[in-house]
């Protein structure tokens, strides 16, 4: 889980976020190498009093500074394209959950089960417990089993919202009149927090998302309880 005032990425809770973190480190390493190399060349140019009379019209150096950036872009593009295909892959989801964005709360429907629908509002500050997170906790959490393929269908009832949980590597727009979908697998139990990431009005910052990951056995018990209600 993330901590307050962190400047790093959140700990990954899904294979997709883990791959995104690896790609972030890979791209950052390449950028650091380029920055050091270019910085060293600039410092050398400023401090060096010698000049090369063939520098401005040298075919060799022009070939070098054309080929090297192309190779660098290949090292970035290949992992990036691989990651895009991985993110779009949906294989036989076990559970489908529909999320509808409203001003300013989320409502959820478990489409595979009968009569499981609920709204998820942020807990007001005067009703919070000591263990609640300010502006992040909700009265009703999304409950899913871990190690299971989950499909989310996202839409909105009024304006554009964005359903986002950073630790899962999920960010997808909720657009009125349109269904967007994404899928993920959570690889551990826990509580995962997110927020609407699209400026949707005056209370945009007051529509959080809380997902609870539990074992499949406990999930079956939770579903049975919700159906009886």
pLDDT tens digit string along 45-67? 888 877 777 666 777 778 888 89
C-alpha torsion angle, residues 116, 167, 3, 98 (rounded to 10): -20
102 in the same domain as 66: no
Contact 163, 198 (CB under 8 A): no
Alpha-carbon span 17 to 120, nearest angstrom? 25
- Residue 89 is predicted with a pLDDT of 67
For residue 206, which of 152, 156, 136 has the smallest C-alpha distance? 136
Do residues 75 and 118 share a domain?
Answer: no
Same domain, 68 and 147: no
User: pLDDT digit string (tens) for 97-154?
Assistant: 999 999 999 999 998 887 788 899 999 888 888 888 888 889 889 999 988 889 999 9
Query: How far is the C-alpha of 6 from the C-alpha of 216, rounded, in Å?
Result: 32
The average pLDDT across 77-90 equals 81
Cβ–Cβ < 8 Å for 213, 188: yes
The verdict on 181 and 154 lying in the same domain is yes
Give a yes or no: residue 121 inside a domain: yes
Alpha carbons 5 and 26: distance in angstroms, whole number = 24
- Taking the complete model, does pTM exceed 0.85, yes or no? no
Q: Is residue 143 part of a domain?
A: yes
Judge whether 54 lies within some domain: no
101 and 34 within one domain: no
CATH of the domain at 112: 2.60.40.420
**Average pLDDT in the 5-22 region?**
82
Q: What CA–CA distance (Å, rounded) separates 165 from 170?
A: 5
Please indicate, yes or no, if residue 3 is contained in any of the structural domains.
Answer: no
Residues 70 and 123 in one domain: no
Hey, is 62 helix, strand or coil?
Answer: helix
Q: Backbone phi, then psi, for 168, in 5-degree steps?
A: -100, -5
- 67/122 same-domain check: no
C-alpha angle with apex 65: 63 to 71, nearest 5 degrees?
95
Q: pLDDT confidence of 163, banded at 50, 70, 90?
A: very high
| 5, part of any domain | no
> 133 is written with which tokens?
């997170």
Structural domain includes residue 78: yes
Domains held by the chain: number: 2
Is the pLDDT at 35 greater than 90, yes or no? yes
Binned at pLDDT 50, 70 and 90, residue 4 comes out as: low
Please give the pLDDT value at position 2.
54
Tell which residue, 151, 140, 150, has the closest CA to residue 105.
Answer: 140
pLDDT surpassing 90 at residue 90: no
Whether 82 and 189 map to the same domain: the answer is no
Domain end position, chosen among 88, 107, 142: 88
Q: Name the token pair of 153.
A: 């269908």
Domain presence at residue 179 = yes
Range of the domain at 32: 15-48+59-88
Is 150 found in the same domain as 68? no
Count Cβ atoms below 10 Å from residue 156 Cβ, excluding itself. Answer: 25
Same-domain check for residues 32 and 82: yes
Q: Domain check: are 82 and 101 in the same one? A: no
Beta-carbon contacts of 125 under 8 Å, excluding residues fewer than 6 positions away, are: 134
Position 65 scores a pLDDT of 82
Does any domain span residue 102? yes
**8 A C-beta contact, residue 40 and residue 34:** no
Q: Are residues 127 and 44 in the same domain?
A: no
């Amino acid at each position: 889980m993330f901590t307050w005032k962190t400047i790093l990425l959140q700990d990954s809770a899904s294979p997709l976020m883990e791959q995104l973190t690896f790609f972030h480190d890979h791209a950052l390493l390449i950028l650091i190498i380029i920055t050091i190399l270019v910085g060293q060349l600039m410092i050398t140019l400023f401090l060096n009093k010698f000049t090369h009379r063939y520098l401005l019209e040298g075919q060799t150096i022009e070939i070098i500074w054309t080929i090297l950036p192309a190779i660098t872009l290949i090292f970035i593009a290949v992992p990036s394209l691989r990651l895009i295909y991985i993110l779009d892959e949906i294989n036989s989801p076990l559970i489908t959950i529909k999320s509808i964005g409203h001003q300013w709360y989320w409502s959820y429907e478990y489409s595979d089960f009968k009569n499981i629908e609920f709204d998820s509002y942020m807990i007001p500050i005067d009703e919070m417990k000591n263990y609640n997170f300010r502006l992040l906790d909700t009265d009703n959490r999304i409950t899913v089993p871990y190690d299971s393929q989950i499909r989310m269908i996202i839409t909105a009832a009024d304006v554009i919202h964005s359903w986002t949980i950073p630790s899962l590597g999920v960010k997808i727009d909720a657009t009125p009149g349109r269904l967007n979908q994404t899928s993920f697998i959570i690889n551990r139990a826990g509580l995962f927090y997110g927020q609407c990431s699209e400026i949707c009005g005056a209370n945009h910052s007051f529509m959080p998302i809380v997902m609870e990951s539990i074992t499949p056995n406990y999930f079956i018990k939770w579903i049975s309880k919700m159906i009886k209600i």
